[in-house]
């Protein structure tokens, strides 16, 4: 087995320029790379590291570096190309460090191992490039009401640090309303025997979250007025009710950002690199999530012997409420039916294992299975494993945890091959991490570690077992335990239910209560103003219509003006008849149904109810009102009869032959006739 070398690549920002050696310009830095020791961990709350390290390593915002472990063989081909493994530590985006994952054993086996540090929690949101991309805490995103989680937590962090850009009274009032009695998880005193509790999706919709913030001022406060330690100590916020448990997490930026769409949509559109993929899960991925949720829902820690059927029903109900499910009762009954050990209803161990499987399938197994299916359709080198081995020397081993999330990590990095002397040399002292206290000298520990490190993919069978490829229709994978065996179709019924059925059945709501980054009063004011403007416009339209309808209309305007036939000259018979129609008129009196005939247009007109003296212009008439006060009204006479020379002849063929009808005027021609000039 070859030796190894460790290099930590890091860019220092404080160093004497005169001491620097020339560096290549393509490195895009004025300073060389240093690779001598482990650099500080990224700023975070120290609660997580205390669980694994007796001595907390130094922490700093200046933490972006790589740890590179590579083989150092005395005799080797200088042109040899080693495979590279890149490791990104976990920690829910708020904690973790690559100090916990040394790559010495992998490097000694001919692998270049690279571990990455990245900013955690809110510290990952302050970079200028991120701010300008429209992501997270940029001014545009903070004021966008459709972006819920990260902005809510930014507001809460600013309020905890006393930033004046957040009106904390409104935030506090909204949270007090949101976390009232209706949000209290269903406990033993609230849920009758055999029931799941009450759904909280409908009342959740009625509670708004309001806060007015100045995005730029909030950023300035978080970046300059608060120390890194203050931000780190206040960054462990309570997750928003109805939102995922990841407080500080990547968000969708839109088409101009780093994440234009959610990863599932990106994969559906084929927007991913079809690289060879090796992925896997542990047998009890959701055990720690279930334990933490039970402690919050039931307000006490549970052991398997206490996990009765009533607790199972309350757990299902609280789980559905945490996922803001609208169809509560139907979905609860479906989950209870699928995840109940029906052969023995009194078996608490089987009941616990099934409930852990429910959380595991929903949180990790189904999403990873979906990713594998997309990759397998594009690249045949896709492999999957289920890790089901737990060392007797594991200090975190409990019946409730089982093969917990991350239990395969020590075997992946070859910890069973490392001794106490290595850990002392690695950390430079006697205060060793708790991982080093797990003396992995159990014979099967090295066996399993060899599987995890070497069985990818097996060009030759290892220990008489070949790792099958994950591809349709077989979906092969490796079940890693004391006796590792290839298997096919990882939990197909459960994967299909969560992928194809659950969301249509449950109808989960969007993260609620809805968050508005400006008070509702602004929206209400805008609505009132627009409503008033619309009312004024409608009123004006109604007034115009009424005025148009009230205009005086000539009641006796019944005649039709005939156009002169083509070529008619002035003084023709048509023009003469047209003028005669307006010089001799029969005028109806408004006080009677009698017609008054007037031959001289300038002679005063007298009716039986009164008289007026005056001249009447051509084309108008003098009319008396009921009170004897004269009023002028233009009355048009009925049309005169058509002149004889403007008649038509209608020729109609009937059963007796052609018949000539000469008494029809132009207006009264029958539709079945053809008019001709005489």
pLDDT digits 0-9 by tens, 397-410: 899 999 999 888 88
Low-confidence residues of the chain: pLDDT under 70: 1-36, 124-153, 155, 164-219, 225, 238-245, 251-258, 423-424, 426-463, 510-525, 552-678
Question: In this predicted model, what pLDDT tens digit does every residue of 208-224 receive, in sequence order?
Answer: 444 555 666 666 777 77
Which domains, and CATH codes, for the chain? 3-116 (no CATH), 167-212+261-516 (3.40.50.1820), 644-677 (no CATH)
CA 28-30-36 angle, to 5 degrees, is 100
Element (H, E) at 588: strand 585-588
Pairing of strands 41-42, 33-34: unpaired
At CB < 8 A and 24+ separation, what contacts does 221-227 make? 221/158, 221/161, 221/163, 221/164, 221/165, 222/122, 222/126, 222/137, 222/154, 222/157, 222/158, 222/161, 222/163, 223/126, 225/161, 225/163, 226/161, 226/163
**What pLDDT is attached to residue 143?**
41
* pLDDT value at residue 291: 93
pLDDT of the residue at 411: 82
pLDDT for the residue 444: 55
pLDDT of residue 98: 84
Handedness of CA 17, 228, 245, 518 (dihedral sign): negative
- Determine the 3-state secondary structure of 325 from DSSP: strand
Q: Residue 187: what pLDDT?
A: 57
Tokens standing for residue 560: 């039709």
* Three-state secondary structure call for residue 183: helix
Residue 449's SS3 state is helix
So what's the pLDDT on residue 607? Answer: 45
Quick one: pLDDT at residue 63?
A: 86
Burial of 467 (0-12, 13-18, 19+ CB in 10 A): buried
Burial 214-237 (b: 16+ CB within 10 A, else e): bbeebbebbeeebeeeebbebbeb
């Amino acid at each position: 087995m070859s030796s190894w070398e460790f290099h930590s690549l890091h860019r220092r920002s404080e160093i004497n320029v005169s001491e620097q050696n020339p560096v290549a310009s393509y490195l895009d830095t004025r300073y060389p790379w240093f690779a001598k020791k482990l650099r500080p961990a990224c700023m975070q709350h120290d609660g997580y590291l205390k669980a694994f390290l007796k001595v907390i390593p130094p922490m700093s915002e200046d933490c972006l570096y790589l740890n590179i472990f590579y083989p150092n063989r005395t005799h080797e081909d200088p042109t040899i190309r080693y495979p590279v493994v890149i490791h990104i530590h976990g920690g829910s985006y708020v904690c973790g460090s690559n100090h916990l994952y040394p790559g010495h054993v992998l490097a000694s086996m001919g692998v270049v191992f690279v571990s990455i540090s990245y900013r955690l929690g809110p510290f990952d949101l302050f970079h200028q490039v991120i701010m300008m991309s429209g992501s997270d805490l940029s001014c545009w995103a903070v004021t966008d009401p459709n972006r819920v989680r990260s902005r809510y937590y930014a507001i809460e962090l600013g309020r905890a640090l006393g930033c004046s850009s957040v009106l904390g009274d409104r935030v506090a009032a909204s949270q007090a309303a949101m976390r009232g009695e209706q949000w209290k998880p269903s406990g033993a005193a609230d849920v009758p025997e055999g029931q799941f509790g009450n759904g909280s999706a409908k009342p959740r919709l009625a509670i708004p979250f309001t806060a007015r913030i100045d995005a730029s001022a909030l950023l300035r406060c978080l970046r300059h007025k608060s120390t890194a330690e203050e931000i780190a100590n206040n960054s462990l916020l309570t997750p928003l009710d109805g939102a995922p448990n990841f407080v500080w997490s990547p968000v969708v930026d839109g088409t101009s950002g780093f994440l234009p769409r959610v990863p599932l949509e990106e994969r559906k559109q084929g927007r991913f690199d079809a690289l060879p993929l090796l992925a896997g899960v542990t047998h009890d991925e959701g055990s720690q999530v279930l334990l933490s949720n039970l402690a919050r829902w039931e307000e006490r820690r549970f052991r398997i012997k206490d996990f009765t059927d009533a607790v199972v029903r309350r757990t299902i109900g609280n789980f559905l409420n945490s996922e803001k499910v609208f169809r509560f009762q139907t979905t609860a009954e479906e989950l209870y039916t699928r995840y109940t050990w029906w052969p023995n209803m009194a078996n608490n161990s089987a009941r616990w294992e099934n409930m852990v499987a429910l959380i595991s399938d929903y949180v990790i197994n189904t999403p990873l299975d979906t990713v594998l299916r997309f990759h397998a359709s594009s690249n045949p080198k896709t492999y999957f494993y289920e890790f089901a081995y737990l060392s007797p020397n594991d200090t975190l081993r409990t019946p409730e945890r089982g093969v917990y999330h991350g239990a395969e990590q020590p075997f992946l990095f070859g910890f069973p091959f490392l001794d106490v002397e290595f850990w002392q040399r690695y950390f430079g002292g006697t205060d060793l991490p708790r991982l080093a206290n797990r003396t992995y000298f159990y014979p099967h520990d090295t066996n399993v570690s060899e599987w995890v490190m070497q069985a990818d993919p097996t060009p030759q069978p290892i220990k008489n077992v070949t790792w099958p490829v994950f591809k349709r229709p077989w979906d092969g994978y490796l079940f890693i335990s004391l006796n590792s065996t290839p298997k096919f179709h990882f939990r197909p019924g459960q994967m299909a239910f969560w992928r194809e059925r659950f969301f249509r059945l449950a109808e989960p709501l969007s993260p609620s209560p809805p968050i508005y980054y400006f008070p509702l009063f602004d929206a209400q004011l805008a609505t009132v103003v627009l409503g008033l403007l619309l009312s004024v416009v409608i009123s004006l339209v109604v007034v115009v219509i009424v005025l148009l309808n009230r205009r005086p209309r000539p009641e006796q305007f019944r005649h039709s003006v005939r156009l002169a036939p083509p070529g008619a000259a002035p003084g023709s018979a048509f023009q003469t008849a047209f003028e005669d129609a307006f010089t001799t008129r029969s005028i109806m009196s408004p006080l009677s149904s009698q017609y008054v005939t007037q031959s001289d247009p300038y002679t005063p007109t007298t009716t039986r109810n009164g008289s007026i003296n005056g001249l009447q212009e051509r084309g108008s008439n003098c009319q008396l009102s009921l009170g004897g006060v004269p009023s002028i009204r233009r009355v048009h006479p009925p049309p005169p009869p058509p002149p004889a020379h403007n008649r038509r002849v209608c020729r109609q063929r009937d059963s007796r032959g052609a018949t000539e009808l000469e008494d029809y005027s132009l207006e009264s021609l029958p539709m079945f006739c053809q008019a001709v000039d005489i």
